A and B are shown apart, each in its own frame.
Chain A
Amino acid sequence: MLPIKQGQAAIAFVCVILGIMLAVQFRTTQDIRSSVPFQRIEDLSQRLSQTEKERDVLQKQLHELREKPGLETASREMEIVKMGAGVTPVQGPGLSVIIDDSKRQSKPGENPNLYLIHDDDILKVINELWAAGAEAISINEQRLIASSEIRCAGPTLSVNNTRYSPPYEIKVIGDVKTLENALKMRGGVIETLQFWGIQVAIKKQESLVIPAYKGTFRFELAKPVKDGGQ
């Protein structure tokens, strides 16, 4: 039926080898598909070891806390709560960011407001800093706490009910690199501000002191919820 007369045996022999190769190649390709990429494995194992380390540290902490209940832990807790509330001055590495109005003259017909700093500019910077893991922030010696306001009061800025005029100095404690990168991000806050000629100077500092909140706390309406009360 077919015109092939010569070499049937040789071709058949070669076809056996070809068949073996085909089967092996088929299996290998399936192996590649089903196996997890090498890099992913490395990535996951690294994350696992990091998480394990974190867990060990936390376990140790838990152990310590269980070991010595009483004054020492209570006072340490107290200190952390105070730092969080902003009633103790803190120090550490961080940035000082000085923001000043634009020196550029507004062209006739243009809104001169665009070249001035507003509360929302400052708020954006502060927001970016908190997002970048800032631990404490102050504006012109006013510690920012949970109830701090930042708002325009005429040509000045009111922070903690104290008024300031530009330049504003924002001091922040946190991871210097992260904070700086967060601010200088392409298309980020600083770039937007500089587009309007607003002057921003970022200084890295090994150690800076952020003062405590000097006001008082008043709670007239809010009352703590008793245990179990929902």
Chain B
Amino acid sequence: MVLPVTGLIIGLIIGSLFPISIPVQYAQFMSVALLAALDSVFGGLRAGAEEKFDNTIFITGFFTNALLAASLVYVGERLGIDLYYVALLAFGLRIFQNLAIIRRYFLKK
């Protein structure tokens, strides 16, 4: 658990040191991609706790989820459907589910 947390802190430092900024009109896509990434990380933690972790599935899942979520929102915007909220809801639900499972594992130990 130490390694992921240090990774997160390193990422935060890199992100705040480099002056990268997303144009305002793409901020929505970024936020959905972020949520997808968060979901993937929790999913990975859960799989690690269940001892079912698969490296390739985790890494590919992370990137495809984020990209797919962003592109889904983009298509939705083109079609005039607010898929943004759908993605938010789906990922939010999964994050909570994963968190609950992880918590149970923690408590069992």
Contacts and interface: CB of A to CB of B under 8 A. Distances in A.
Interface of A: 1-25, 27-29, 31-32, 35
Interface of B: 1, 3-16, 20-22, 24, 27, 30-31, 33-34, 37-38, 40-41, 44-45, 47-49, 51, 53, 55, 58-59, 62, 105-106, 108-109
Given A6-B51, A24-B30, 12 more contacts: A2-B1, A4-B45, A8-B48, A14-B7, A14-B41, A16-B8, A16-B11, A17-B37, A19-B10, A19-B13, A25-B31, A28-B30
B6 A12 contact: yes
26 contacts: A1-B1, A3-B106, A7-B58, A11-B3, A12-B7, A13-B7, A14-B37, A18-B8, A18-B34, A18-B41, A19-B8, A19-B9, A19-B10, A19-B14, A20-B14, A20-B15, A21-B15, A21-B33, A23-B12, A23-B15, A23-B16, A24-B30, A25-B30, A27-B20, A28-B24, A28-B30
Given A11-B44, A15-B41, A23-B16, A5 B7 contact: no
Contacts of A5: 48, 51
Contacts of B21: 24, 27-28, 31
A15 to B, nearest CB: 4
A1 B58 CA distance: 23
- Identify the interface centre among B6, B14, B33: most chain A CB within 10 Å of its CB: B14
Interface of B is mostly: helix
B23 to A, nearest CB: 8
A24 B24 contact: no
